[in-house]
Structure 1
């Protein structure tokens, strides 16, 4: 029966290769030279390969030995990652951070926080889902993710813990060539109702997403970028996240509408998790880092969770 490989044998192998001799490897490892020689012999017997040419004054790796030494270095690095990950998990770090983010969230602060997360926890696997409006809550309830960022109704389910994160300003806009762009003065609801409104939907068969719907004529879109493309082509008007259209308004491609009733509104985004599965060390760190990145944004509305 072939004896199994051990990490200690691989450490000895790499030490001999890097120091150039059995005696130098023994000094590095603080062992007697005979123990180093025996370890290499046992490894060669296990692999049924000659790893060093011993005919000269110094042992030189054979062709097979050079390949095995590189594999040994890789396995030792992986073992170090495994040990570090185990130590982190024992200290409260999640084995993997899973999070779903609503597409309404501005990408810049999320990206900044995630870059910082990678630097703080370089060995942490991350699963990031950014899909339709209703996807974050669905993934959370299905157990696909541990954290989700999305708008929560005033009275949320008791089994979910909800923390306010930020407001997303929504502004009414239209393509520069659309008839509404040429209208003078603040627009009344009746004027808007005569034109197609491009409405967001969460894609569910019975979508209840209806914030800001004014016109009885509407096209529904589950994807913000697709709706933006139709908006720019003059298919209709809509409320868009301000961060997505500010540059286009500045360039003259889109025009912000001024309405008699309201010229925009905020959609609050919340960090949500199941009460029975609170965020671990990395999840809580990421939430706090996002709050730092979002500090210039407005404060929560009265009564926000």
Structure 2
């Protein structure tokens, strides 16, 4: 799956963390004996003297995720004996027992669990290495478009894009932001490759939706609004204007409680109106903290949806690329 050169490339970045885990086992003496040598010589040792391979790591990760050697063999489309041999050889090379065989199914040992996490990092680095090598080899400029709901937490989105800049330094990225409904429209019209949005109940049939997280909802009211003293009274809420989220297709998944309501197509607009005393609203928890002029309350007692989903969107008519898969994985991890 990966060449020795690819293995060598990632070892320099990861050997420190990996060494901490295996240094207590079979390779400790050799590693300690050269501990004072420079980084290049140690990296060379790790890449050339250690006999384990990236194929073995891949089998190890699949076994850990699938829960058994036979299930991993089915996923990898190989024989169970090949999987068992690969794990046995890897344990011998590392000097560590990765799985306990005492139970009906193999269970990761303490060391195996730690090494499993490191193995995932190594394989991810190798995939990134190969992707970037392919870009250089073909001299192609990869362009990718991500569409984001403008009300998503900025810090989480920035974290994903910072990681992308390191993983794909030669790719050209376009980031589009819009309000509720814009994201699914751009995906539907092939104007974006991946979308991240608050959950919508109605989507075009050609769009795949994957829920990756959820935010609690909050009731927000301006601090000097009369409702602050009776916010938990449903009849009182009905007397004052409610601000309700609405997408650009004139569809709302939010419950209307008040007899007097406005529709607004973005959460920032709703938060601004509430801070000025125009009305009250139900919003995701991170929106509820935007303004110091707003008080936020839990909604357990109210007949409303308690959570709002965060969903990843892509067009089913478009073939997945490695970058599409990368964004799906990273957004799922960060959110």
Q: Same fold (TM over 0.5)?
A: yes
1:211 equivalent among 235, 254, 258: 254
**Taking structure 1 as reference, are residues 253 and 155 closer, same or farther at Cα in structure 2, changes over 3 Å only?**
closer
CA distance in 1, matches of 2:328, 2:313: 11
**Taking structure 1 as reference, are residues 275 and 259 closer, same or farther at Cα in structure 2, changes over 3 Å only?**
closer
CA distance in 1, matches of 2:137, 2:210: 26
Q: Specify every segment of 5 or more residues in structure 1 that has no aligned partner in the other structure, as ranges.
A: 1-83, 295-305
Aligned to 2:313: 272
CA distance in 2, matches of 1:152, 1:244: 15
- Counting only pairs closer than 5 Å after superposition, residues 6-21 of structure 1 correspond to structure 2 as none
CA distance in 2, matches of 1:192, 1:265: 17
TM-score, normalization: structure 2?
0.54
Looking at CA atoms only, which structure, 1 or 2, has the larger radius of gyration? 1
CA distance in 2, matches of 1:283, 1:269: 17
* Deviation for aligned residue 1:181: 0.4
Of stretches 174-183 and 98-107 in structure 1, the one that deviates more from structure 2 is 98-107
Q: Secondary structure of the residue that 2:179 maps to in structure 1?
A: coil
Q: Secondary structure of the residue that 2:178 maps to in structure 1?
A: coil
Q: How many residues align?
A: 204
Q: Specify every segment of 5 or more residues in structure 2 that has no aligned partner in the other structure, as ranges.
A: 1-130
**Taking structure 1 as reference, are residues 255 and 157 closer, same or farther at Cα in structure 2, changes over 3 Å only?**
closer
CA distance in 1, matches of 2:237, 2:203: 32
Structure with more relative contact order (C-alpha pairs < 8 Å, separation 6 or more) = 1
The CA RMSD over aligned residues, in Å, is 2.8
1:142 equivalent among 184, 189, 199: 189
- Report if the CA contact (8 A) 2:215-2:284 is conserved: yes
Aligned to 1:223: 266
**Taking structure 1 as reference, are residues 258 and 283 closer, same or farther at Cα in structure 2, changes over 3 Å only?**
closer
- Report if the CA contact (8 A) 1:176-1:255 is conserved: no
**Taking structure 1 as reference, are residues 258 and 116 closer, same or farther at Cα in structure 2, changes over 3 Å only?**
closer
- Report if the CA contact (8 A) 1:239-1:264 is conserved: no
1:197 equivalent among 237, 242, 249: 242
TM-score, normalization: structure 1?
0.59
* Deviation for aligned residue 1:198: 1.1
Higher helix content, 1 or 2: 2
- Report if the CA contact (8 A) 1:94-1:282 is conserved: no
CA distance in 1, matches of 2:300, 2:193: 40
CA distance in 2, matches of 1:103, 1:130: 5
Does 2:335 align with 1:290? no
CA distance in 2, matches of 1:108, 1:128: 15
Of stretches 191-200 and 275-284 in structure 1, the one that deviates more from structure 2 is 275-284
* Deviation for aligned residue 1:152: 5.0
